[in-house]
């Protein structure tokens, strides 16, 4: 593959434009749910953590897949063993990370006198539920983006991060409000 900045801009700019529009939509959803966030402010603290961890894990998976595809130890076969190992590692990493961060966020909020109308177990359940669902979604988005871009002769490194970040931010907000609605309301 020959890479040039013109090719990267030609294929990347439409994708980045679409990602910006989707992020605006995510901001609109966030604004629409501000009453819930003001009622239980601990979730306001949680949104950046939820989105960044999901995006980071999805981007790491995408980078590993891109490297594997470039070097040849991962193939475009959906049954590829290395791809599955990386996927499972991402899920496991997300489970541990979200569990630890949920406990930390809860106690930081508690010691900061942030108004909370939620117990520790309920909060951990919500964050873990959102986190695991989000990791599954961003991992699939990462795999799909890496495979499709590589198959089309494009560098997955140029496409995975914006797609995963956009999917992670949008789905993190949607899933948070959905799970809060299921567990609390």
Domain assignment present for 1: no
Domain span at 116: 50-63+83-185
Q: How far apart are CA 68 and CA 108, in angstroms?
A: 39
pLDDT by 10s per residue, the chain, length 185: 566 777 778 878 888 888 899 999 999 999 999 998 888 899 988 999 999 999 999 999 999 999 999 898 888 888 889 999 999 999 999 999 999 999 999 999 999 988 778 899 999 999 999 999 999 999 999 999 999 999 988 888 888 999 999 999 999 999 999 999 998 86
Domain assignment present for 40: no
Domain assignment present for 68: no
Domain assignment present for 3: no
Question: Cα 61 to chain center, whole Å?
Answer: 11
- pTM, entire model: 0.89
Structure confidence at residue 25 (pLDDT): 93
Residue keyed to tokens 């990386």: 86
Question: DSSP secondary structure string, 130-185?
Answer: HHHHHHHHHHHHHHHHHHHHHHTT--GGGTHHHHHHHHHHHHHHHHHHHHHHHHT-
- Residue 152's closest CA among 11, 54, 44? 11
Q: How far apart are CA 179 and CA 176, in angstroms?
A: 5
Domain assignment present for 72: no
Domain assignment present for 39: no
Structure confidence at residue 185 (pLDDT): 64
Q: How many domains does the chain have?
A: 1
Domain assignment present for 115: yes
Structure confidence at residue 3 (pLDDT): 63
Structure confidence at residue 7 (pLDDT): 73
Domain assignment present for 29: no
Would you mind telling me the total number of residues written for the chain in this entry? 185
Q: How far apart are CA 49 and CA 122, in angstroms?
A: 17
């Amino acid at each position: 593959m020959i890479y040039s900045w013109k090719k990267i801009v030609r294929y990347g700019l439409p994708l980045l434009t679409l990602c910006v529009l989707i992020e605006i939509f995510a901001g609109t959803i966030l604004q629409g749910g501000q009453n819930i966030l003001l009622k239980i402010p601990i979730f306001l603290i949680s949104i950046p953590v939820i989105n960044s961890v999901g995006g980071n894990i999805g981007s790491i998976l995408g980078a590993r897949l891109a490297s594997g595809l470039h070097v040849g130890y991962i193939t475009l076969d959906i049954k590829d063993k290395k791809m599955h190992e990386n996927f499972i590692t991402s899920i496991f990493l997300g489970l541990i990370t979200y569990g630890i961060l949920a406990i930390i966020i809860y106690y930081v909020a508690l010691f900061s006198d942030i108004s909370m109308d939620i117990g520790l177990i309920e909060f951990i359940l919500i964050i873990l539920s959102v986190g695991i669902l989000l990791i599954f979604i961003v991992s699939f988005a990462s795999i799909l983006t890496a495979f499709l871009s590589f198959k089309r002769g494009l560098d997955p490194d140029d496409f995975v991060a914006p797609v995963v970040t956009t999917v992670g931010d949008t789905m993190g907000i949607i899933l948070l409000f959905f799970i809060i609605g299921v567990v609390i309301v």
